[in-house]
Structure 1
Amino acid sequence: MFIISLTYKVSLEDVERFIPEHNLFLDKYYSLGNFITSGRKEPRTGGAILANAASKQEIEEIIKEDPFYSHQIADYDIIEFIPSKYNEHFKIFIQNS
C-alpha cells in the first residue's frame, strides 16, 4: 500500500483550473481498484491518496498520468507501507494488495 502526498507548488487559482482533469484521473484509478481514498489537505496545501499497487514503480507510472504532474501543479511524496493492523471493514483492501 502507498500514501501519495501531493504538495501544491502553484497558486490555488492555478490548481482549480486542473481539478476537472485531475478528477478524471482519480476516477480512472478508482475504477481500476488502485485508489482507495483521496482528498485535500487541511489547510489546502495539497492532497493525499491511499493506493494499492504491486510496486512503487507502478505508483510512479500512475502519477505520471495525473494532470497535476504533467502541468507541474504539485510535488509528490510516495510512502510505501505494509499494513499490519487494520479495522475489520478495511480487510478487503488488505487482501487485494
Structure 2
Amino acid sequence: MFVITVTYTAPLDEVDQWRPAHGDWLNQLISRRLLLVAGRQVPLVGGVYLVPQMPAEELDRLLATDPYVLAGVATHSVVEFTPLLVAAGLEALKSLE
C-alpha cells in the first residue's frame, strides 16, 4: 500500500484552474479502486492519497497522468508501507497487499 503526498509547486490561484480536471481524475481512480482515499492537507499546501498495492512502475505511470502534474503545479511523494494493524471494520485494508 502507498501513501502519496501531493505538494503544490505553484500559487493556489494557478492550482485552482486545474482543480476540476484533478477532481475528475481522482473520481475515476476511486471508481476503479486504484485510489482508496483522497483529501486535502491542512493547511492547504497539497493533498494526500491512499493507494492499494500495485507495481511501482504502474503507480508511477498513474501519478504521471494527474492533471496537476501535467500542468506543472504539483509534485508527488510516495511512501510504501504494509498495513499490519487496522481498526475494527477496516480489516480489508490488510488484504489489499
TM range (shorter): over 0.9
2:90 partner SS: helix
Query: Which residue does 1:53 correspond to in 2?
Result: 53
1:15 partner SS: helix
User: In the alignment, residue 72 of structure 1 is paired with which amino acid?
Assistant: G
Question: CA shift at 1:65, angstroms?
Answer: 1.1
* Contact persistence 1:68–1:74 (CA under 8 A): yes
1:27 partner SS: helix
The two structures have a TM-score, normalised by structure 2, of 0.93
* Distance in 2 separating the partners of 1:84 and 1:55: 20
Which residues of structure 1 form unaligned runs of 5+?
A: none
- Percent of residue pairs identical: 25
**Which runs of at least 4 in structure 1 moved beyond 4 Å after TM superposition?**
none
User: In the alignment, residue 8 of structure 1 is paired with which amino acid?
Assistant: Y
Query: Which residue does 1:93 correspond to in 2?
Result: 93
Question: CA shift at 1:53, angstroms?
Answer: 3.0
Query: Which residue does 1:26 correspond to in 2?
Result: 26
> Considering only aligned residues, what root-mean-square deviation do their CA atoms show, in Å?
1.1
* Contact persistence 1:56–1:80 (CA under 8 A): no
Which residues of structure 2 form unaligned runs of 5+?
A: none
Equivalent residue pairs, number: 97
* Distance in 2 separating the partners of 1:61 and 1:88: 33
